[in-house]
Amino acid sequence: MTQDDVRESILDIIKTLDKAISMEKHARDFYADAARRTDSEQGKKMFNWLAQFESGHKSRLEAKRNDFTAHSSLKDADVSGPDEYDLSETGGPIKVPENPTDLDILKIGLENEMKAYSYYQRKMTHSADDSVRHLLDTLAKDEEKHMKILRDQIDHLEVNRMWTEMEELDRQIREFSQ
């Protein structure tokens, strides 16, 4: 592999990480906004927890990106900070209707988690770097768990017309965090 090939491979990895960073930023902002919009204490707790989790994902991706931008093959390259990606892969900022219900917000969150999961799965299989592949696999598994929590909450709201009891929500969060 030539130096140019190495450089192009690293730039491709950085672009993948940049898109993921953008997705996680949009998700964090969405959940923080959702926490402000809901009147439910359970909803506030869950949305704030998800916002913190997405912030953690973003930090891990930024750290991995920094590892690659320091690579010697990029010493002359202009590797500026991640741009905002409005590509189909990230979906751009998450759009919320004017006066959404909690159920609307949960469904939008689920759709976003599904997009993130799909992106991580797709990029993981094509990654040329084991550490990036492992990170994307871990993030995909986290997004899959987020999808389960959101689906459970959607089901509970649709059937019972109320949020899951705080104890059950706490149990799900603890179980997920282990």
Q: What is the pLDDT of residues 105-155, one digit of tens each?
A: 999 999 999 999 999 999 998 888 999 999 999 999 999 999 999 999 999
Distance in angstroms (rounded) separating the CA atoms of residues 29 and 51: 7
Q: Is position 86 within any domain?
A: no
Q: For position 51, which CATH number holds?
A: 1.20.1260.10
- Residue 153: what residue type? Q
Residue 95 has a pLDDT of 77
Q: Is position 23 within any domain?
A: yes
Residue 167 has a pLDDT of 84
Domain count, the chain: 1
> Phi and psi dihedrals of 68, rounded to 5?
-75, -35
Distance in angstroms (rounded) separating the CA atoms of residues 76 and 55: 31
Model pTM? Answer: 0.86
Q: Is position 91 within any domain?
A: no
SS3 string of the chain?
CCHHHHHHHHHHHHHHHHHHHHHHHHHHHHHHHHHHHCCCHHHHHHHHHHHHHHHHHHHHHHHHHHHHHCCHHHCCCCCCCCCCCCCCCCCCCCCCCCCCCHHHHHHHHHHHHHHHHHHHHHHHHHCCCHHHHHHHHHHHHHHHHHHHHHHHHHHHHHHHCCCCCHHHHHHHHHHHHC
Residue ranges making up the domain that contains 31: 3-76+96-177
Distance in angstroms (rounded) separating the CA atoms of residues 134 and 125: 10
The confidence band for 56, taking pLDDT boundaries of 50, 70 and 90, is very high
Q: Is position 44 within any domain?
A: yes
Q: Is position 60 within any domain?
A: yes
Residues comprising the chain, all counted: 178
Which tokens in the block code for residue 153?
């909450």
> Considering only CA atoms, which of 27, 54, 168, 156 is closest in space to residue 102?
156
The pLDDT tens digits of the residues spanning 74-95 come to 776 666 665 555 444 445 667 7
